[in-house]
Amino acid sequence: MREKLTAKAKAAPRARATDSRAPLAAFLGEVLVVCPRCAGPAVSKRRDPAARDTLAPRRLVCRRCGHLQESRPPSVSGLARTGHDDYFRLPLWLATPCCGELLWAFNARHLAALEAYALADLRERRRDPAQGWSNQSLASRLPKWVKAAKNRAEVGRALARLGARLAEAG
Ligand SMILES: [Zn+2]
- Which tens digit of pLDDT belongs to each residue from 86-140? 999 999 999 999 999 999 999 999 999 888 887 764 444 444 445 444 555 676 6
What is d(CA 45, CA 60) in angstroms, rounded to the nearest whole number?
Answer: 7
Q: Are residues 26 and 56 in the same domain?
A: yes
Q: Are residues 104 and 153 in the same domain?
A: yes
Ligand 1 mean position, distance from CA 3 (Å): 33
Q: Which residues surround ligand 1, an ion (CB under 5 A)?
A: 35, 37-38, 40, 62, 64-65, 67
Q: Are residues 78 and 29 in the same domain?
A: yes
Q: Are residues 32 and 104 in the same domain?
A: no
Of 53, 82, 111, the one marking the end of a domain is 82
Question: Residue 38 sits in which domain range?
Answer: 2-82
Helix (H, G, I), strand (E, B) or coil at 156: helix
Ligand 1 mean position, distance from CA 34 (Å): 8
Of 17, 47, 82, the one marking the end of a domain is 82
Q: Is 29 exposed, middle or buried (0-12, 13-18, 19+ CB in 10 A)?
A: middle
Residue 88 lies in a domain: no
Residue 117 lies in a domain: yes
Residues 150-159: what's their mean pLDDT?
93
CB-based contact 77:143 (threshold 8 Å): no
What is d(CA 123, CA 14) in angstroms, rounded to the nearest whole number?
Answer: 33
* pTM, two decimal places: 0.77
Report percent pLDDT > 70 for the chain: 74
pLDDT tens readout for residues 15-34: 333 333 446 778 888 999 99
Ligand 1 mean position, distance from CA 84 (Å): 17
Conformation bin of residue 33: beta by default, left when phi > 0, alpha when psi is -120 to 50: beta
Q: Is 94 exposed, middle or buried (0-12, 13-18, 19+ CB in 10 A)?
A: buried
Q: Are residues 50 and 100 in the same domain?
A: no
CB-based contact 69:57 (threshold 8 Å): no
Q: Are residues 146 and 105 in the same domain?
A: yes
Q: Are residues 6 and 41 in the same domain?
A: yes
Q: Are residues 15 and 36 in the same domain?
A: yes
Q: Are residues 53 and 104 in the same domain?
A: no
Ligand 1 mean position, distance from CA 63 (Å): 7
Q: Are residues 22 and 77 in the same domain?
A: yes
pLDDT of residue 136: 55
Count how many domains the chain has.
Answer: 2
